[in-house]
Structure 1
Amino acid sequence: MNGLVPLPRVTLGVILGMSCSFSLAATPEEKIASAMSAAPPSVSATATILDWPADMAAEMPTLRQGTNGWTCLPDMPATPGNDPMCLDAPWLDWLNAWVNKTTPVTKELGFGYMLQGGSPESNTDPYASGPSDSNEWITEPVPHLMILVPDAAMLEGLPTDHNNGGPWVMWRDTPYVHIMAPMPAYRP
C-alpha cells in the first residue's frame, strides 16, 4: 500500500452527514499542523502527512512526504470532534480495512496516536453512527494511544470499560479490536 488509502463513498457518506469541526477550506499548512498535533513531535515531525480527499472515493493526497514510516492525517472534516491521527504501517493497513469494511490482517504490534482526543463513538460497534442502549457511546473521547496486537486472544482479561481510568479494549468481538490507552493531550 503506497501510503494511499482509497476511501469508499459509502463509508464516508455517513460521516459527511455529521457537523464539521475543521474547514474544508483549510490551507495545506493548517492541515499539516492539525495532522502533526496528533502525536509527539518525535513521531510527527518527519511523518508523511496525508489529507482526506474531496472526492471520498479517491485516494488520500500527500501533503508532505515523510521519512520515518509514520503517516499522519489532519482532523477529519466531516466529524464533530477534533480527530487527527498518526499511524504506523500496521495501523494504516487497519484503517484501510476499517474504511473498506474488510477484515484487517495484523501481523505485528501496531501503534497509533490521537492526542487531540477524537469524535464521539461507540465502544462496542465500529460502525455505529449514534448512541443506543447497547453500544456504550463515548461522548467525550480522551487523548489516547491505540495499540493493535497480532492475536486478539492476547487481549483476554483486559478491561473493556472506557470509564475505568486506564487502558481498555475497544470493539472487542469485532475484527477491529484494539487497546485504547489514555494519554495527556498534546498542545502544539
Structure 2
Amino acid sequence: MRRFILLATAGACLLPGLAGIARAADVTADELMDRLKGVAPEAVLEYATLLHIPAEGDPQVVQEGTNGWTCMYPGTDPMCADAQAVSWAQAFMGQTEPPETVGFIYMLLGDEGASNIDPYAAGETADNQWVQTGPHVMIVGAGARPLYDTYPQTVPDEAGLPWVMWPDTPYAHLMIPVE
C-alpha cells in the first residue's frame, strides 16, 4: 500500500483540476480499465478519472471522469479514491496535516504490503508489523478519528476484522478487509 500511495500521489497531487498532468497516454482507456477491473465496483470504475502512472515520466489522464473518483494502477496496488482520499494522500506525501474530512479508498485487488506502524517504511523489518492485505477498503482522513478509538491498533489475529493502520500518526486510517 505504501508504494501505491507514493506512486499514485506523485501524480494525484496535481489532481485539483487535473492541471499539469499529461493528456497523451501510453495506454488506452480500455487497456487501463482492463487492468483495473475488480479494484472497485463497476459503477465507480466506469465513470472515474483513470490515471496512468508510468514507471518513468509524468502521470497521464487516460479518461476524464464524471463521478469524483480517481482510479489508477501505478504498477502495484491498484486503487480508486474519492476526492477527499486524494487530499489525504496529498497530505501524506507532503508530510502535512491531513484535512478534516473523511475519504474512501477501494483496493479490492489487495496490496503488496506495508508497515502497520510506520507510514514511510520502505520494506519489512522485524519490528514494523508488516502486513499484506487482500481485498479491502480504507476510510481515511482526520475527520474519521473518532472511529480509530473503537478498533484494534494492531492487525487482528482473526482474518477479516477491521483495524487501524498507522495508529499513532496523523495518517491513521481504518483498514476494512472484504471478501
TM-score by length of 1: 0.73
- Conserved? CA contact 1:36–1:72, under 8 Å: no
TM-score by length of 2: 0.77
Out of 108, 126, 140, the position equivalent to 1:115 is 108
* 1:44-86 alpha-carbon deviations (Å, 9 max, x no partner): 1111111214546x4x321101111111011x22xxxx41100
Report the equivalent of 1:34.
Answer: 35
More helix by proportion, 1 or 2? 2
Alignment of 1:1-188 (within 5 A): 1-3=16-18, 27-28=27-28, 29-55=30-56, 58=58, 60-74=59-73, 76-77=74-75, 82-107=76-101, 109-138=102-131, 140-149=132-141, 150-163=143-156, 164-165=158-159, 166-184=161-179
The number of aligned residues is: 157
Structure 1 gap ranges (5+): 7-25
**Identical-pair percentage:** 37
Taking only aligned residues, the RMSD between alpha carbons, in angstroms, comes to: 2.4
Structure 2 gap ranges (5+): 1-15
Q: 1:35 to 1:127 in 2, by over 3 A?
A: same
Q: 1:54 to 1:5 in 2, by over 3 A?
A: farther
**Partner SS, residue 169 of structure 1:** strand
Q: 1:127 to 1:95 in 2, by over 3 A?
A: same
